Structure 1
Amino acid sequence: MYKELESNFFLLVKLDKNKAFNLVFDAYWSALYKQAYKKVHCTDLAQDLVQDVFVSLWDKIELLDAEGSVLAYLFAILRNKILKLYEKDSVRLKYAVSVTTKVAPSDVHSQNAILEKELKAIIDAEVEKMPLRMKEIYLLKREDELSIKQIAQDLSLSEQTVKNQLQMAYQRLRARVKDYDSSLALLALFIAKHL
């Protein structure tokens, strides 16, 4: 049927443009839709693209080369429309990225302040849950800024015990922040060590 349609299409156009168009529409709509959907993964958008293809065909039906394939012509129009769509989306994406990266400094500062406050609350809550000795060592390191050697002397512990307790404290904090939101983990570690 398609071969017959291809060979008789231009004769049909001269005799009855509407009938020729309707035959091509019925014969090729499904194939064009499948191709469009494969490229854009959206039913409505694929249907719109195919509709636009047939509008273009209707507008230029009398100008087509009688030696060419109607189906090839339709697929070429579809390909061009999809490329234009991707190009528009690319421009929109670049614009969206440029707009969203231009955050006012005050917004960045306030966002960082909120994030820092939230992380501090998470860390403080986890510190409260630590065993007493671990908590004591962690607070001496964090708040009093004592060295491992000083903490070991003050608490009559070995330096290795202090290191082990700090390591376990940091592991607990990392795990807690990771459970909360993995994107905050690095910032939390930085704050935990520098607060």
Structure 2
Amino acid sequence: MGKSNFLGLKNEIDLLIAISNSDSDSFEIVFKHYGPLLFDYAFRIMEDSDASEDLVQDVFISIWLNREKLKYIKSFKDYIFILSKNRILNTLKKKGREKLLTYAIGNVGIAYDVVDEDLIEEKRKKEEIYTILEDKISQLPSQQQKIFKLAKNEKKSYQQISEQLGISIETVRKHMFLALKTLKKEMQRENLDVMIIILSIIFF
């Protein structure tokens, strides 16, 4: 799967302009459309579902942090493809998987260092977001916190959490709903509700 498989949205330009003005609803629409495409693309190369899921989350956090640029981007499909390719290459380099790295680079025809990003500042902002999120999670009621961490950190399914804690799947789902509801409220106070959009889509 390559860039050609990234089909755009009909009203994409309007959505991107809205996102550049911090509209989280438009961001959610774009995330729901492109998220599965990015996951499939990443998984085909990395063959790792957890790493692919993390990549999708990382790419969209990056898009949100740099949202002011969106109104100037001529092709969002190219932009998001380059962001994804950058991160896949970096992940493969870190893992030392040379064979997959060669395949990933291929003959895509796009230089993966084209995107103008202040990587150090972006990394700092991401770390700040996660620090705030972890702090909010630590303030959740005990059961909600436990279930949320099992799902988020250990990537366990509701079924697995249900069996591990000896509670019904519906109870797990209820605690996750309440946890996300609380986190959304708290993150909105920090103007970081986009993080909860991402987490909500991943978990539900």
One fold, TM greater than 0.5? no
Q: Where is the helix percentage greater, Structure 1 or Structure 2?
A: 1
Structure with higher Rg: it is: 1
Q: TM-score range by the shorter chain?
A: 0.3 to 0.5
* RCO higher in structure (CA 8 A, sep ≥6): 2
TM-score (norm 1): 0.42
TM-score, normalised to structure 2, is: 0.40
